[in-house]
């Protein structure tokens, strides 16, 4: 294996899928000559041509709708939305078409397409380009939702998403694009619905997503200096969600902290907390804690945005609160 970035891992996954299957096409704004706003599709239009890497007009409803139609008729589109914020203008295509066609046609129609989006604050792009409302897609029956936190997971999950016959919302994170990790050169797939224990421990379960997985691992190293043994669970996919790994861990540690960058109300952390409250409450030694973004828009002001974003320090504070319970 070699060390590459999250961006390079995604690019490599797309190249592999396009090489192996001519039905795989890419659509999105500025994904061709420019290579995408985060350079995930860099070089692919030169390699595969403008007929397979399509620079679309600024019309998300139009090109997402076209992708749904292409998928229904045998293609395997991978469609990029520049920011998750812009999915709001194509929600009919996603929720009423992409997610429901297979069900409504009695299984006779398939929608094997991937919608690539990104979340996360931290780039000074203000309230309409920094949101993290990925939990909305967990709520919609018929959609798979992937959430890679490492370059290794990004490549394996994206290849699985492209080859999967179900519609997939592939949620990337802005602050992860330049992170590095060890990734095999060959093709490999990570099955959906299988969480990974990124760090084993016995005192507190930290269930974290995206960039907060890295923050949780940093917090675990700090907590270890105080004799606190943290287990870090990375779901890797939010739909399907691996409840077994979550519940097994909580039953072992008796304490749960859920960390996700979505807003706190009705977010990923709320669903995970509800699962544990319903199915493992007798094992808990302390209340479930959630570390999430506040229920406000993301501020443009750099000092306010810095205060909005949280990481290792807030996780450590919550971990110590949990350990204060007998």
Alpha carbons 287 and 58: distance in angstroms, whole number: 46
Residues 99/167, Cβ–Cβ less than 8 Å: yes
Cα of 144 vs its chain's centroid, Å = 11
Catalytic residue check, 129: yes
DSSP 314: H
SS3 63: helix
Residues 295/305, Cβ–Cβ less than 8 Å: no
Which residue among 102, 129, 134, 173 is the active-site one? 129
SS3 17: helix
Strands of the 196-199 sheet, one edge to the other: 196-199, 230-234, 204-208, 256-263, 289-293
- For residue 29, give every residue at least 6 positions away whose Cβ sits within 8 Å of its Cβ, in sequence order, or none: 55, 56, 57, 58, 80, 82
Active site residues: 129
């Amino acid at each position: 294996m070699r060390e590459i970035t999250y961006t390079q891992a995604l690019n490599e996954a797309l190249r592999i899928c396009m090489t192996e299957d001519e039905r795989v096409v890419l659509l999105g704004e500025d994904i061709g000559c420019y290579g995408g706003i985060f350079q995930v599709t860099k070089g692919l239009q030169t390699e595969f041509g403008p007929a397979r890497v399509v620079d679309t007009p600024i019309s998300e409803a139009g090109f997402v709708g076209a992708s749904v139609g292409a998928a229904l008729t045998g293609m395997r589109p991978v469609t990029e939305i520049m920011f998750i914020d812009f999915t709001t203008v194509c929600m009919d295509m996603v929720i009423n078409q992409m997610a429901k066609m297979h069900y409504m046609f009695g299984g006779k129609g398939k929608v094997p397409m991937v919608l690539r989006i990104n979340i996360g604050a931290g780039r000074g792009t203000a309230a309409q380009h920094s949101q993290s409302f990925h939990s909305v897609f967990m709520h919609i029956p018929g959609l798979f939702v992937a959430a890679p936190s490492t370059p290794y997971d990004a490549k394996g999950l994206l290849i699985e998403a492209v080859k999967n016959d179900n519609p997939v919302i592939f949620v990337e994170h802005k602050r992860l694009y330049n992170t590095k990790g060890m990734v095999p050169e060959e093709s490999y797939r990570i099955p959906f619905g299988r969480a990974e224990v990124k760090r084993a421990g016995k005192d507190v379960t930290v269930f974290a997503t995206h960039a907060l997985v890295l923050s949780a691992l940093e917090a675990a190293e700090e907590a270890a200096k105080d004799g606190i043994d943290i287990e870090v669970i990375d779901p890797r996919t939010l739909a399907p969600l691996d409840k077994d790994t979550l519940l097994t861990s909580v039953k072992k540690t008796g304490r749960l902290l859920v960390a996700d960058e979505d807003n706190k109300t009705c977010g990923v952390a709320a669903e995970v907390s509800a699962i544990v409250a319903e199915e493992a409450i007798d094992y808990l030694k302390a209340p479930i804690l959630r570390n999430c973004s506040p229920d406000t828009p993301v501020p443009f002001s750099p000092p306010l945005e810095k205060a909005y974003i949280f990481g290792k320090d807030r996780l450590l504070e919550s971990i110590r609160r949990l350990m204060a319970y007998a």
